[in-house]
Structure 1
Amino acid sequence: MTGEKVALITGASSGIGAATARLLAERGMRVVVNYLHSKDAAEGVVADIEKAGGQAMAVQADVREADAVRVMIDNVDATWGGVDVLVHNALTPYAIKSFQDMTWTELGGKLDDELKAAFVVTKAVLPHMTGHGGRVIYLGTGLSRRPREGMIALGTAKAALTQFARYLAQELGPQGITVNVVEPGPVAETRISSVIDEEQNHRLVAATPLGRLARPADVARAVAFYAGEDSAFMTGTTAAVNGGTAMY
């Protein structure tokens, strides 16, 4: 894709989102760095991109809120003319506990947040994509296929997101819009990695044929593949970025 393409990355102030923003900018896209609270970090990502010769802008919005997303997209439209690539990476809060200790508010709330955010932000970007194609990439998790203790809320919600993506892929394909999912396993250097203690970390690494956990840059490269022309005839697919921990 050329420099005319605009990529919106939600939750892009750190971790996978920030790595993706930097990589897509490096590959010639104009990048919208969405954030919720971390303004300084988001502006730092933009500064890194601009220092490297790319184009980027930081825009605040809670992607669960339709009005906030509408304002963000209007801002992008006014500046760059619309979004061609959506990377929905923003992670909404979730409880880490067993099912027996969990309330419906915790489990149902995570399901609602996950799907509402994907629904709202995708609805907002589709008008610009319709008629000339586009790329939609959702960040899932290997936990949706391979359960881990205490992660039922996140794993269930992301499994629903992956199926949501397949339905969109079927519906939007005739318009030239592809919809795919990147499912990382455990990723170092992210907020989620902070819930993995040292013993768990050693076990996860030992179970990974490639001998280490993923890094944000590993996931970003898979996202960039789906955002580019090499994946033009791929839709409704899921890429597992887990070093071989799980093989589907």
Structure 2
Amino acid sequence: MSRLTGKVAIVTGSSRGIGAATARRLASDGATVVVNYVASQDKADAVVDSIEAAGGRAVAMRADMGNWSQAQELVRKAATDLGRLDVLVNNAVQEVGREPIDDVTEAFTRKQFDVNILGPIATMQAAAPLFPEDGGRIINISSCVTVFPLPWSTVYVATKAGLEAATRSLAAELGPRNITVNSIGVGFTNTDLIGTNTQEQDDALIARTPLGRIGEPEDIADAVSLLASPDARWITGQLVLATGGIVP
């Protein structure tokens, strides 16, 4: 029996990249997966189709993670329609905003915080009372940029640092209910977020990485799988760096 058989998992922002890989991995672990999207229904449906073709179960649900009510309704609808909720993966992200501080605007800042902070807090609040009595798993996808200095990304870094702080706080609050809350600091990963890198930039990143390559979405999905599983029952309030060993 797969380790998540009979469980239900939500993966926000899972129509592509790390989210899609995570949805497929949790489905292969036996979970029924909610594939969340905001604009790319075709891509979300393709992820669902790939999961079902492999013998898994999934359903696509639209919700804007920058909208408090929509984020909470996604959680409630998933639990109602599928009969339970066991795992919440907050993966949706406003694209990395490489904006020099001189160019940052209020609208830009609010959009980053709405998706990267407001959304996860809304989903976590909605999910906490819906987990079964034996507990649940919350996994927040953060970024290694909270550890490694990255210029021109002040707002994005601030949102991810805030998400990690919220992870630690909520882990302490929900621990008595057997709900674990962890975050993953994603390293340089082969998604469209780094698709504009030059080969020279990629080579420089690889040279700094002990494992000698740029990460793949499946590398992060495997880390999520571990934290979502019963094997991670004694891990909470942690930042797990999935970076291939790269150091500042």
Q: TM-score, normalised by structure 2?
A: 0.93
* Structure 2 residue aligned with 1:179: 181
Partner in structure 1 of residue 232 of structure 2:
231
Give SS of 1:76's match: helix
Q: Are 2:92 and 1:90 aligned?
A: yes
Paired-residue identity, %: 36
Letter in 1 for 2:215: A
- After superposition, what is the alpha-carbon deviation per residue over 1:42-86, rounded to whole angstroms, capped at 9, x for unaligned? 111111111111110000001222332343234323321132100
2:130 is matched with which residue? 128
Q: Which runs of 5 or more structure 2 residues have no equivalent in the other structure?
A: none
Q: Report the 3-state secondary structure (helix = DSSP H, G, I; strand = E; otherwise coil) of the residue aligned with 1:140.
A: strand
Which of the residues 66, 80, 83 maps onto 2:82? 80
More deviation in 16-25 or 75-84?
75-84
Q: How far apart are residue 5 of structure 1 and its match? A: 0.7
Aligned equivalent of 1:202: 203
- Cα distance in structure 2, aligned partners of 1:68 and 1:174: 28
Aligned alpha-carbon RMSD (Å): 1.6
In structure 2, the CA distance between the partners of 1:46 and 1:112, relative to structure 1 (3 Å rule), is: closer
Point out 4+ residue stretches in structure 1 off by more than 6 angstroms: none
Moved more, 169-178 or 103-112: 103-112
- CA deviation after TM superposition for structure 1 residue 143, in Å: 0.5
Match of 2:4 in 1: 2
Shift in alpha-carbon separation, 1:230–1:194, aligned structure 2, 3 A: same
CA-to-aligned-CA distance 1:192-238 (integer Å, 9 cap, x gap): 11242222111111111111111000000001000001110000011
2:26 aligned residue: 24
Aligned match of 1:102: 104
AA of the residue aligned to 1:214: G
Residues in 2 aligned to 1:220 and 1:244: alpha-carbon distance in whole angstroms: 17
Using the alignment, how far apart are the partners of 2:224 and 2:83 within structure 1?
22
**Aligned residue number for residue 192 of structure 1:** 193
CA contact (8 A) 1:130 1:177 kept: no
Mark the CA change 1:5 to 1:113 in structure 2 (over 3 Å): closer, same or farther.
Answer: same
| Cα distance between partner residues in 2 of 1:214 and 1:59 | 28
Does residue 13 (structure 1) correspond to residue 4 (structure 2)? The answer is no
Structure 2 counterpart of 1:239, one-letter code: V
C-alpha distance in structure 2 between counterparts of 1:195 and 1:155, whole Å: 19
User: Quick check: 1:166 aligned with 2:168?
Assistant: yes
* SS in structure 1 of the partner of residue 195 of structure 2: helix
Partners of 1:145 and 1:155 within 8 A in 2: no
Q: 1:105 to 1:124 in 2, by over 3 A?
A: same
Q: What residue number does 1:59 align with?
A: 61
Q: 1:81-103 CA deviation, whole Å, 9 max, x = no partner?
A: 13210000001245312223323
Instruction: Name whichever of 30-39 and 103-112 sits farther off.
Output: 103-112
Distance in 2, Cα, partners of 1:203 & 1:151: 19
Match of residue 242 from structure 1: 243
Residue 145 of structure 1: aligned partner = 147
- Kept after mapping to 1: 8 A contact 2:84/2:132: no
| Partners of 2:67 and 2:134 in 1: CA distance | 27
Q: 1:109, 1:21 → 2: CA distance?
A: 25
Q: Which residue of 1 aligns with 2:45?
A: 43
The letter of the residue matching 1:124 is A
* Structure 1, 42-51 or 123-132: larger mean CA deviation: 123-132
5+ long unaligned stretches in structure 1: none
Whole-Å Cα distance in 1 between the matches of residues 160 and 203 of structure 2?
Answer: 25
* 1:157 match: 159
Aligned-residue offset at 1:109: 4.2
TM (norm. structure 1) is 0.93
Give the conservation status (yes or no) of the 8 Å contact 1:25–1:31.
Answer: yes
Distance 2:210 2:75 in 1: 42
Higher deviation after alignment, 85-94 or 96-105: 96-105
Determine the structure 1 residue equivalent to 2:219: 218
